[in-house]
Structure 1
Amino acid sequence: MNSKFEDNFKEKGFTKLTLIQEKVYEPLMEGKSVLGLAPTGSGKTLAYLLPLLERVDKAQGVQVVIVAPSQELAAQITEVARQWAKLVDLSVLSLIGGANVKRQIEKLKKAPEVVIGTPGRMLELVENKKLKLHNVKSFVFDEADELLTEQTLISCRSLLSHAPGIVQLAFFSATKSEIFDQLQQWFGIDVATFDVRAEDQTQGIVEHFLVETPVRKRIDTLRKLSNLEEFSALVFFKKVTEIENAADKLRYLGVKVAVLEGQKRQVEREKALRQLRKGEIKLLLTTDVAARGLDIEDLPAVINYDLPKDSNTYIHRVGRTGRMGARGIVVNLGNEHDLRNFRQLVQSENYELNFGMVYKGTLIRTEELEKEPREVRPDSEKEPRRKKQAVQLPTVEKKKYKKRKRDQKNKGMRRKKDNQQDKEI
């Protein structure tokens, strides 16, 4: 490792390379194409960044291109890359959608050595001949399982078509995808695979809870969770349309929340992430697309308001907490039917899923609550039973009704009848 990198590595408190960093360092330094598979939070960004920066020649134009599936991830990689690139006098430029394209074009004129961005914006700049890739040595596809699908796969291959015929490729992901078995077919290269998912020990202890909650009570459950001590979380939704509705209800209940989704302006999205990192909000409501690959240091929890569609999605969601040895919590909300299907969905991943609930201001396992002894007072402290006394109702005197008028009426009727009989005789 470059001596300047090594010194900075130690200053940041790192004692040794993580397993994926160790495995791919030499191959990347030698210009080989690699596929790196490692758990979320295991240091994949530095795994490709440090060796590739060492291969860059100063003032020779764009030589490293890093492609990310989301604006947030691209911005995050850019922030990390700049910290290390400045140590060796290299410049880094972010090229993402949602940002001012004219400013990006002006900055490209300064010939940065490293560009990081989303495929759509980068392809747009290449086709307009503003981004030139003729000197590129290395292409990196971060969160490759997400990038190499449908339209983004086409965009990525189009980007590569503007680079030299022989270029180093690096693919990194936390989960395996079928596309990885077809890399030679799609990109025409042989790739060395380094899969350390089973061996890596960087992830901290993460507890997975199943909280049985009907849809109508989920907002209130979020409110209860947000009131837990030192608690903040990324909350995952399936649909963007549901996020704003949930945010409005939570704000009405006094919960500090923000929204992270693709329709927001880049400035608003960056602000939302900053608020979560600084602890200014309790909940950041988002979707899988917006939060893919985000690194939020010491994030206490992840909440699945909507359960994920598959086990790979769950792996990426829960990977936002418990990173680099930190502890974390994952809360899955759903009714009995949803949770039963969900357990079957992720059973192959061997997660320990426990039913839980918020009780007395803490999130605990339901089984622990059932084991909690009931408070029993000794006989000497018990109050003696009191005999029930019959309730004496007040006596009510019955009213005596006068029958005088009725008697007089009857008497008159009898007289009338007698007179009629006399006439007949």
Structure 2
Amino acid sequence: MLKQFEQHFKDLGYEAPTAIQTAVYDKMVGDQNVLGLAPTGSGKTVAFTLPALANLLPGDGIQLIVLEPSQELAIQTSRVMRDWAKLLDLKVAALTGGANVKRQTERLKKRPEIIVGTPGRVLNLVNDRKLKLHLISLMIVDEADDLLTGDTLDTVREIAQSMPADVQLGFFSATDTPILHELDKWFGQEVERVDVRDQDNTQGEVRHGLLQVGMNKRDQMLKRLLAIPNFRALVFFKQSSTLRKTATRFYHDHVSAAGLTSDLRQVQREKALQDFRQGRIRLLLTTDVAARGLDIPKLPAVINYDLPDKVNEYVHRVGRTGRMGEPGQVISLGDDHDLRDLKRLLKETDYELVPLYFNGRALGTERPTAAAVQANETAKAERQATAKPTATAKAKDGSKATAKVKTSGGAKPTVKAETPNPSKKKKHKNRHTKNKGMRKKWRDHDEEK
């Protein structure tokens, strides 16, 4: 590690490099092609940033390009890399879809050494000849298991073909997929595999819970969970339409929540994420656009509003909590059938799925007894009774109006207030009745004439 990096490493509070950071540093500095596999939250961004920057020369044009699957992840990565790059007088430019193209083109004129972007926007700028890649010496594909699928695979390969044939390659992922075993076939170079998933110990204790809730009651359950002190959560949906309905309902009910979807403008997406990171909102409703790579420090919980269909989806979603040694809680909502399917999906994994129950203002693993339920209902009723206004009210003239209590035998007393009912509308005089006397007066006047 460079001396400049060693001091900054300590200033950021890191005690020692993680397993993936140690495993790939020398290989990447030595110009080897690498596939790095490590759990979520294990410091993969820093793992490829430090060796990549060590080989760059200030003022020599664009030499490094990093591809990310989403705008949020590209912006996050560019900030991390910029923090380290300034130590070597290197410049970083972010090129993401949804942002102003002209502004990004102006940034390219400043000759940055590092580009971090989404594949679609990078390829568009290459095809428009606004971005030239002939000086690139290293290409990093982050979240490779996601980017190397479908049409995105073709886009990434097309970008690679615009670079020198001997460009160094780096691939990083938290999960393994078949295509990661065929990288030499798709990119024409041998890639060394570095897998530290079994060696990494950076993840904190994460509990995986199942909370049985029907579809129509899930919004209500989210509100109830907010009664837990200091509770915050990233809430994952399958469909943007369902997310928007919940977000709209929460907006009208003044619930501390915001939505993050791919159809929002970049400014809106950045604001929602920033508000959530800084604690201004407590629920961030999102789709799998936020499932990969996003670092939200000390996130207490992840909620699966809709359950994932694939193991990798679950792995990346739950990887948002329990990062860098912090504890975390995963709450999967669903009916009995949904939760059985999730258990079946994850039966080959090491996740221990435990039933959860909401009791009072806390989540627990023990089913509440009838007595506990009755006690909670009684406490709730007492709180509501305390919140109701007293029978003494003020009349319109400011004087206090007392309430008369009538009792009849053993019947419960009834309260009857003497104050006027404010709900009664004031009677207005009929205009025709009001003018009837005037019309008669004028008729009499005409007869006299």
TM-score of the superposed pair, with normalisation by structure 1: 0.86
Q: Is the 8 A contact 1:223 1:253 kept in 2?
A: no
Q: Is the 2:208–2:329 contact (alpha carbons within 8 Å) kept by the matching residues of 1?
A: yes
Alignment correspondent of 1:193: 193
By how many angstroms is 1:270 displaced?
A: 0.3
Residue type matched to 2:150 in 1? Answer: E
SS of equivalent residue, structure 2 residue 202: coil
Find runs of 4+ consecutive structure 1 residues off by over 4 angstroms: 367-372
Written as runs of structure 1 = structure 2, the 5 A alignment for 1:1-400 is: 1-367=1-367
Relative to structure 1, the CA distance from residue 164 to residue 354 in structure 2 (aligned partners, 3 Å threshold; closer, same or farther) is: same
**Residue 2 (structure 1) shift:** 0.9
Task: Select the structure with the greater relative contact order (CA < 8 A; seq sep ≥ 6).
Answer: 1
- Mapped to 1, the partners of 2:366 and 2:189 lie a distance apart of 52
Give how far 1:348 is off: 1.2
Q: Distance in 2 between matches of 1:368 and 1:54?
A: 58
- Paired with 1:167 and 1:261, the residues of 2 have a C-alpha distance of 35
1:191–1:148 CA distance, 2 compared to 1 (3 A): same
SS of 1:348's equivalent in the other structure is coil
Note the C-alpha offset of 1:250: 2.1
Per the alignment, in what secondary structure is the counterpart of residue 271 of structure 2?
helix
Q: Could you list the runs of 5+ residues in structure 2 that have no partner in the other structure?
A: 376-449
Read off the aligned partner of 1:77 and give its amino acid letter: T
Is the 8 Å Cα contact of residues 296 and 320 (structure 2) preserved in structure 1?
A: yes
Once the two structures are superposed, residues 343-400 of structure 1 have per-residue CA deviations (whole angstroms, 9 ceiling, x without a partner) of 010111111111112212111113587999x99xxxxxxxxxxxxxxxxxxxxxxxxx
CA–CA distance in 1 between the matches of 2:368 and 2:183?
49
Q: Is contact 2:21–2:46 with CA below 8 Å preserved after alignment?
A: yes
Separation of aligned partners in 2, 1:9 and 1:64: 22
Deviation readout 1:90-137 (Å, 9 max, x if unpaired): 000000011110011111011100000000000000111111111101
Provide Cα deviations, 1:160-196, integer angstroms capped at 9, x if missing partner. 1110010110110000011111101100111111111
Q: Which runs of 5+ in 1 are unaligned?
A: 376-425
Letter in 1 for 2:18: T
Distance 2:142 2:235 in 1: 23
Percent identity of paired positions between Structure 1 and Structure 2: 49
Q: What is the CA-CA distance between 1:276 and the residue it aligns to?
A: 0.5
Compute the TM-score of the two structures, normalised by the length of structure 2.
Answer: 0.82
CA contact (8 A) 2:31 2:168 kept: yes
**Offset of residue 253 of structure 1:** 3.2
1: CA distance, partners of 2:264 / 2:348: 36
Give the corresponding residue for 2:387: none
Residue pair 2:357, 2:367 contacting (<8 A) in 1 also: no
Query: Which of 343-352 and 288-297 deviates more?
Result: 288-297
- Flag the 1:197–1:370 CA change in 2: closer, same or farther, 3 A: farther
- Equivalent residue pairs, number: 375
Secondary structure class of the residue paired with 2:280: coil
| Superimposed CA distance per residue, residues 209-233 of structure 1 (whole angstroms, 9 cap, x where no aligned partner) | 1000000100001111122111111
Distance 1:293 1:92 in 2: 19
Contact 1:240/1:261 (<8 A) preserved? yes
Structure 1 match to 2:397: none
